[in-house]
Structure 1
Amino acid sequence: MNNWRKVTIGEISQIVKDKISIDEIELEQYISTENIKPDLQGVELSSGLPKSAKVDSFRKDDILFSNIRTYFRKVWLASFDGAASGDVLVFRADNEEIKPTFLYYHLSSNQFIDYTVTTSKGTKMPRGDKSAILNFEINLPSLPEQKSIAHILGTLDDKIELNRKMNETLEEMAQGLFKSWFVDFDPVLDKALAAGHEIPEPLQAKGEKRKALGDKRKALPQEITDLFPDRFVFTEELGWIPEGWEVSNIGNEFNVTMGQSPPGSTYNENSEGIRFFQGKADFGFRYPTDRIYCSEPKRFASEGDTLMSVRAPVGDVNIALNDCSIGRGLCAIRHKSSSKSYTYYFMKHKKAILDSYESGGTVFGSINQKQLKSLEAFGNIESIISAFHKISSSQDEKIELNSRELLSLSQTRDTLLPKLISGELRVPEAEEIVEDI
């Protein structure tokens, strides 16, 4: 470590506050504390652009750091030019001193995150202290060694990202099947067309699309086809639905547990008690991130339950990877058939409906148990749910395996990260560890 030296974040980077007109950016370019995902999981599409005339701009390779409740570890190495909200700090590396990727890993380290939490200001919405952040000291090696260290950590991040993309593809396949059966009623349309039955006017466009596919329509096994009717009936609540299906609601078809928050004094980060999730901020792509534990839990969710956010933004969902306790920002849901897969994709579909209400001007700041249980659901379709579960659960099992591997890779990266950027572990040793993964 003879060529390593101590510097502060402020000596090798700056927090930039360049402004750009909101009219010059697209929704896909806007980053806020809302759409940076926790625990280094990247970014997602923002729910909307701000009303302010100007926002902070950023460039590709800047590091964006969510400065509210920094313990969520929302850090992103920008892959494009764009704009950010005021509570997102935009770090720009001095390229003569530090590689942007090396700076990113320093700002992602648990040591730095813990420091920002300790030095934060405010209680309800604690924000990182910019002066303290810029005074944080790091060990800085030569540029070539920075590049080698970033490459090792980047290799692990690439494997993590590959697993995420595989999971997204698998989930899209299962969600597509759910939509085909329970939203578009494709199997019923196919049987109605084959039998020569009249297609109701609101469904005729879908029927024509199915007919146009001809032999390209993927035939279901006969035992599954037999589960679906070949006619539609009209209902006041949902319009035309498959014959024999009943209009019901979530309260009748699902078991629902509303969360309840224990006293804050019972929370800890030392794995004492049971995993505790408070709201959407704990959510990952499919499973929440273990961060807080609770020694005196009030309400519980079982492994495999769908967790839904009941406070803004209402309707976001994850799945409990383990038994856990839930706070007032969440509820736990499971269809009475016990199908984890049907429950999850049904609630994801409901999220789209809640979003459409918001775009129409009805904003759900929260949803209570009575409102949730009153939402429509189909009844008398247990055999079809069972068939769906048999198909989709195999994909969901692959997603779970990938997610557990992803968790292991993330833990390995987070173990190597502080040792590499501090010089405790040298590049050749780390390369051997990564090669064995």
Structure 2
Amino acid sequence: MSLVLNDVAKFISSKIEVSEINVSNYISTENMLPNKGGITTASSLPDTKSVREYIPKDILINNIRPYFKKIWYSDMEGGCSNDIYVLRFNENYDSKFLYYVLSSDDFFSYVMANAKGTKMPRGDKKAIQNYKVPNFSIDKQKKISSFLGEIDRKIEINKKLNKNLQKQINILFKSFFINFEFYDGKYQETLFGEIPIEWNIILFKDILNERNEKSTNQDIPMYSVTLDGIQPRADIYKKKITAKTTKFKIIHKYDLIFGMPNSGYQYGIMYDEIGGVSSAYPVFEINGIQPRYVDLFIKNISNYFNDIVKSGSRMGQGIDKKVLLSKEIYVPPNEHLDKYYSIESKLLDLINHNLTEINNLTKLRDTLLPKLMSGEIDVSKINCDLELKYNYMKYLFNQIHTPMSKSVV
């Protein structure tokens, strides 16, 4: 007997007062992450009296532009926007197993195939209710969900490690270059306050050269600037910037790029080798100074750069280049920078190691998911298959906590 989604879960429409929730448990399309990345903290609450409620073990699916694959397995109570479907499982079906069924690429392809609208497609509720789901025993469901959950748990651990390692880098930068904890000498008065007297103050115009190189390669990876820096555009938007590749600006490794936020400014340093961005983005080559120093300097003295946005510019996209280039930056002697980089490099190595594991674990999960759902992999041999796969990839099931990692969790 085959099953459809409506046999094992129901769409929830009950409401919760906005006064009973906060930004930590409010979920909207904006703070759901693409590619099954979960959620982040909302920037604000909606201007409505009530929103759709959810509880632990509910499954939340973004219904706008389903190709972004935004889905989350709830671990708390809260509220969400009406653009998000809330699914609650029946008692005879494992909730976490259902989450993995709906996390499959097959499900999102099915939703898109039945979606309504072209510019901003939305999933069709009736079609989703008729999506076919595996008719496995509850024991088999739990074994599969436990297996996949272990992979996700390792992915989440590495994400938390990297988040804390990034915090350590920021604390380290402040210690060296904002609070001057490793300096014992005389100071000079500047617009930034007192800084070590041996440190040089230079203008941004002396380290930035605007780059207006255009792309003619249709296969060049495209990027956008977000609050989290430079991100692959495909992770944020489905639509291409333009059909004419000659309108793309080329960005190179360590370029400084400013984005187009609704307010204020957004920027990022390009850490991949090469890419392309919208021609509206101001792009600068950095010379004579470490790009990571520029990155963290702007991040830690962010208010100093608030006036680089042109007043009245549409969507905050007008960066006043003249104001930007007139800005100052203080630069310590090389020996002081070298001490900092010798420590930072070890933290970055840990971050990159964790990112590699995250990518490999994600590929493993997404490869095994459809095979488990179809029954192609025998669930009774799942431990054996898992061990063989882990040995082959040389890292799975190994101890991932280094002494340093344990200290930052």
TM over 0.5: yes
Q: Is residue 2:296 matched to residue 1:301?
A: no
Letter in 2 for 1:426: D
* 2:189 alignment counterpart: 233
Q: Structure 1 residues 410, 116: CA separation in 2 closer, same or farther (over 3 Å shift)?
A: same
- The correspondence for 2:178, drawn from 171, 183, 187, is 183
1:21 and 2:17 are equivalent in the alignment: yes
TM-aligned CA distance change 1:328 to 1:246, over 3 Å = same
For 1:392, the equivalent position in structure 2 comes to 344
2:10 maps to a residue whose letter is Q
Q: Give distance in 1, aligned partners of 2:58 and 2:179.
A: 43
Aligned residues: 379
Residue aligning to 2:142: 147
Match of 2:378 among 426, 430, 437: 426
Provide, for residues 325-361 of structure 1, a one-character-per-residue CA deviation record: whole Å limited to 9, x for no partner: 2235866666424635324433443668789999xxx
Task: Note the C-alpha offset of 1:261.
Answer: 9.8
**Residue ranges of structure 1 left out of the alignment (5+ in a row):** 192-228, 267-272
CA contact 1:234–1:240 (8 Å) conserved in 2 = yes
**Contact 1:69–1:125 at 8 Å: present in 2 too?**
yes
Contact persistence 1:71–1:114 (CA under 8 A): yes
Cα distance between partner residues in 2 of 1:28 and 1:356: 30
Residue matched to 2:404: none
- Name the structure 2 match of 1:195: none
Aligned-residue offset at 1:38: 1.8
Alignment of 1:284-433 (within 5 A): 288=232, 296=245, 298-303=248-253, 309-312=259-262, 314-315=265-266, 317=268, 320-327=271-278, 335-337=286-288, 339-349=290-300, 365-370=315-320, 373-374=324-325, 376-381=327-332, 383=334, 384-433=336-385
Q: Does the 8 A contact of 1:253 with 1:379 survive in 2?
A: no
The residue that corresponds to 1:79 in the other structure is 75
Check the 8 A contact 2:225/2:257 in 1, yes or no: no
1:125-136 equivalent positions in 2, closer than 5 A: 125-136=120-131
TM-score w.r.t. the length of structure 2 is 0.79
User: For 1:408-437, what per-residue CA distance to the aligned partner results, in whole angstroms no more than 9, with x for missing partners?
Assistant: 110111101111112222224443343223
Residues 66 and 330 (structure 1 numbering): CA distance in 2 closer, same or farther, change over 3 Å?
A: farther
Q: Structure 1 CA distance, aligned partners of 2:190 and 2:273?
A: 41
SS in 2 for 1:152: helix
CA distance in 1, matches of 2:134, 2:345: 47
Partner of 2:405: none
**Which 10-residue stretch deviates more, 298-307 or 40-49?**
298-307
* Residues 133-142 or 299-308, more deviating: 299-308
Please state whether the residue corresponding to 1:274 is helix, strand or coil.
coil
Contact 2:305–2:324 at 8 Å: present in 1 too?
Answer: no
The letter of the residue matching 2:345 is S
Q: TM-score, normalised by structure 1?
A: 0.74
Q: Secondary structure at the match of 2:221?
A: strand
SS at match of 2:320: helix
Contact 1:342 1:388 in 2 (8 A): no
Q: Distance in 2 between matches of 1:105 and 1:329?
A: 40
| CA offsets 1:163-216 (integer angstroms, 9 cap, x no match) | 11221121111111112233334345xx3xxxxxxxxxxxxxxxxxxxxxxxxx
What is the distance in 1 between the residues matched to 2:346 and 2:314?
A: 34
1:279-312, Cα deviation, whole Å (9 max, x unpaired): 549x79x864866799947222334556664334
Partners of 1:55 and 1:243 lie apart in 2 by: 56
**Could you tell me how far apart the structure 1 residues matched to 2:346 and 2:79 are?**
40
1:157 maps to which residue? 152
Change (3 A) 1:152 1:325: same
Equivalent residues of 1:258, 1:369 under 8 A apart: no
Partner SS for 1:56: strand
Q: 1:81-100 maps to which residues of 2 (within 5 A)?
A: 81-96=77-92, 98-100=93-95
Query: Could you give the per-residue CA deviations for residues 94-128 of structure 1, whole angstroms, max 9, x where no partner exists?
Result: 122x2111111122111111222232223333222
C-alpha distance in 1, partners of 2:69/2:260? 23
Equivalent of 1:50 in 46, 53, 64: 46
Moved more, 249-258 or 55-64: 249-258
Relative to structure 1, the CA distance from residue 348 to residue 434 in structure 2 (aligned partners, 3 Å threshold; closer, same or farther) is farther
8 A contact 2:258–2:319 mirrored in 1: no
Change in CA separation of 1:304 and 1:252 when aligned onto 2, cut-off 3 Å: closer
CA distance in 2, matches of 1:24, 1:356: 37
Indicate if the aligned counterparts of 1:30 and 1:83 stay in contact, CA closer than 8 A.
yes
State how far apart, in whole Å, the 2-side matches of 1:136 and 1:240 are: 64
| Contact 2:308/2:319 (8 A) holds in 1 | no
User: Measured at CA, do residues 364 and 426 of structure 1 come closer, stay the same or move farther in structure 2, by a change above 3 Å?
Assistant: farther
Unaligned runs of 5+ in 2: 391-395, 397-409
Q: Is the 8 A contact 2:64 2:123 kept in 1?
A: yes
Distance 2:175 2:269 in 1: 22
Per the alignment, residue 216 of structure 1 pairs with: none
The aligned counterpart of 2:399 is none
Describe the SS at the equivalent of 2:2: strand
From 149, 159, 167, the equivalent of 2:162 is: 167
Percent identical among aligned pairs is 28
- The 1:32–1:23 alpha-carbon spacing in structure 2 relative to 1, beyond 3 Å, is same
Rounded to whole Å, the distance in 2 between the matches of 1:130 and 1:75 is 16
Q: Which secondary structure state, in structure 1, belongs to the residue aligned with residue 372 of structure 2?
A: helix
The 1:165–1:234 alpha-carbon spacing in structure 2 relative to 1, beyond 3 Å, is same
* Greater Cα shift, 74-83 or 254-263: 254-263
What is the CA–CA distance in structure 2 between the aligned matches of 1:135 and 1:255, rounded to whole Å? Answer: 56
